[in-house]
Amino acid sequence: MNDRIYIFDTTLRDGAQTPWIGMGFWDRFIIAKALADIGVDVIELGFAANHVDYEMIKKMAKYICNPEYSTNRTVPVACSLARAVKEDVRKAFETIEPAPPEKRRIHVFIGTSQELMDYSIGKKQEVVLSMIRENVSYARELIGDIGDVEYSSEDALRTDLDFLLETIQSAVDCGASVINVPDTTGFARPDEYYDRIIAIRKNVKGIENVLLSAHIHHDSGNSVATTLKGIEAGIRQVEGTVLQLGERTGNVDWMSVVTNLNILKDFYKVDVSHIDTTKFFDVSRLVASIIEHPIPLVHPVTGRAAFAESSGIHVKGILREPKTYFVIPAATVGREVEIVLGQTSGTNTVADFLRKHGYTDFTEELVEKITEAVKEYSTEIKDGLTQTEALLFVEHFMNDRPMENRITLKDFQSSNSLNGPAKINVSIVVDGSEKTGYGEGVGPIDAFMNAMRNILNMKDAKLQLWKEHAAYHGRGAPGFEIINEMKFSPEELELIGNNTISAGQEALAKSVVEIEYHGKTYSGRGVELDITKASYLAIVNAFDAIFRLNNISY
């Protein structure tokens, strides 16, 4: 029978230490429920010595990690972190007491590398060993015989091997049931980590009776590879975070590790079947929304582009057999294969889009025309086409519908105050006729949306998504500073132009919206120097698409 790999999620502790993010109690509680729902074995709920974490951990231990109160699919172990200091250990135990004994874990750690002993904790080896024995023993005394005590030698990969073995032996002798071997700085080679785990298994007495754990940081970019190499060596618990959150470049993304173990199960021969991988995308989106940072576009498994293809050559193979380029079946991680129309799309991509949307009577010549139009437009907008934009092109070429907008924005007059609603009078042109209307709302976007619904008598149209960003571009713009260090010949400057626009207040605002109407979603774009006007134009653009694609008469 395959060995089980236990998943230890530290999004709420190590992940919460990511610079430039913050998580309140509601945020942490919702994330913890989501983690329990997908089957995570252990959740490190926080650092009890931090007064902000203390009460949060207690509440989550009760409602997430106690079967008497939990409403989740599974009930994970409640883990609380503690330095090798008695007061920390006591507080850690207090925070997990609301969980039943079998669902409690105290995680004791101390720095053991020469660097950390010299510059962080200021302790000699003999003192460190004494602190390990004292505090692991104390943690075991508090936990009793049923719960877990985990011990970590912080910066284990830069710790002298003989001393590392001594620290781990001390922890095992004093009652640790889980031994974590962290690559705290994230620069151990995968083979180096493998060798260290083998050395621990060979030289620590009683190690066969404890659970070996890996906690790998991503500074070198090798966190998944190092974790997998650790599993080859005998690691049976993986500590990581959702979306690779954590200090500096973060911790290993455990979802990527689980996906590797599933896809390469014949090689690793371990069991992670208790994890509901079909919810990976949903949980990742939840965390991204809570921390208010998007999932990186090309992030493994959960990134927007992870199961998307645009290249004509690739799409041809995918249409015949998805695993031509997608080794991971998309549905197993809660995704769908998405064929995106863009500047690298070929005729196969366009033909597939046509068939999927019910178009069957088309010629190769027509497909080529649509393909060229798609490439030109994609290059212009610096993006792939939305489904709405693609359908507008298709309708133009397939059914001779004009590309001209039926609805355009003519004018608006708005007012807003600190305490009152936003108010706006809007004038639009629909099929050549001017129409006016009024709207109020919580802010200018809401007011404008309501005005458009009133003018067009489309009360059931709902704004589902709104996003906007500054498009910096050219010499002097943020991110383009390196241009000033480059040398350009006169011919090069003539070729590319001497663009000095779009810095600071001159940056264009790019807005994208999605509007739901009669069960379907329609997108719109707006680009303007005025950030509010960009959003207004995007909303008008989406309503225009609704009119054109549904042939609505006004």
Percent of the chain exceeding pLDDT 90 equals: 84
The DSSP 8-state label assigned to residue 243 in this structure reads G
* Mean pLDDT over the full length of the chain: 94
- pLDDT confidence of residue 506: 65
343 φ, ψ (degrees, to nearest 5): -75, -15
Answer with the residue of higher pLDDT: 533 or 316.
533
Q: What DSSP string describes 526-549?
A: EEESSHHHHHHHHHHHHHHHHHHH
- pLDDT confidence of residue 318: 81
- pLDDT confidence of residue 499: 63
Facing residues of 44 across strands? Answer: 79
- Write down all domains in the chain, each with its CATH number in brackets: 6-275 (3.20.20.70), 308-399 (no CATH), 407-495+503-550 (3.30.160.270)
Asked whether the beta carbons of 40 and 65 are under 8 A apart, the reply is no
pLDDT of 502 > 50? The answer is no
> Tens digits of per-residue pLDDT, 42-86?
999 999 999 999 999 999 999 999 999 999 999 999 999 999 999
> Tens digits of per-residue pLDDT, 136-156?
999 999 999 999 999 999 999
pLDDT of 501 > 70? The answer is no
The model's confidence at residue 97, banded by pLDDT at 50, 70 and 90, is very high
Tokens 């590309």 correspond to: 403
> Tens digits of per-residue pLDDT, 215-245?
999 999 999 999 999 999 999 999 999 999 9
Least confident of 106-110, 204-208, 378-382, 489-493: 489-493
Q: Report d(CA 395, CA 404) in Å as an integer.
A: 12
pLDDT of 498 > 70? The answer is no
Spell out the residues 6+ positions from residue 240 whose beta carbon is closer than 8 angstroms to its own: 7, 8, 9, 10, 215, 216, 223, 227, 251, 252, 253, 254, 257
Q: Are strands 407-415 and 422-430 parallel, antiparallel or unpaired?
A: antiparallel
- pLDDT confidence of residue 413: 96
Percent of the chain exceeding pLDDT 70 equals: 97
Q: Report d(CA 48, CA 437) in Å as an integer.
A: 56
pLDDT of 545 > 70? The answer is yes
pLDDT of 105 > 90? The answer is yes
Longest dimension (CA), the chain: 86
Which residue, 271, 261, 270, is CA-closest to 301?
Answer: 261
Query: Edge-to-edge strands of the sheet including 433-441?
Result: 407-415, 422-430, 433-441
The DSSP 8-state label assigned to residue 251 in this structure reads B
510 φ, ψ (degrees, to nearest 5): -115, 120
3-state helix, strand, coil in the chain (%, to 5): 45, 20, 35
> Tens digits of per-residue pLDDT, 247-288?
999 999 999 999 999 999 999 999 999 999 999 999 999 999
Angle between helices 387-399 and 347-356 (to 10 degrees): 90
Q: Looking at this protein, which amino acid is placed at residue 384?
A: G
The DSSP 8-state label assigned to residue 468 in this structure reads E
> Tens digits of per-residue pLDDT, 282-311?
999 999 999 999 999 999 999 988 988 777
Facing residues of 59 across strands? Answer: none
- pLDDT confidence of residue 2: 59
The model's confidence at residue 378, banded by pLDDT at 50, 70 and 90, is very high
- pLDDT confidence of residue 1: 36
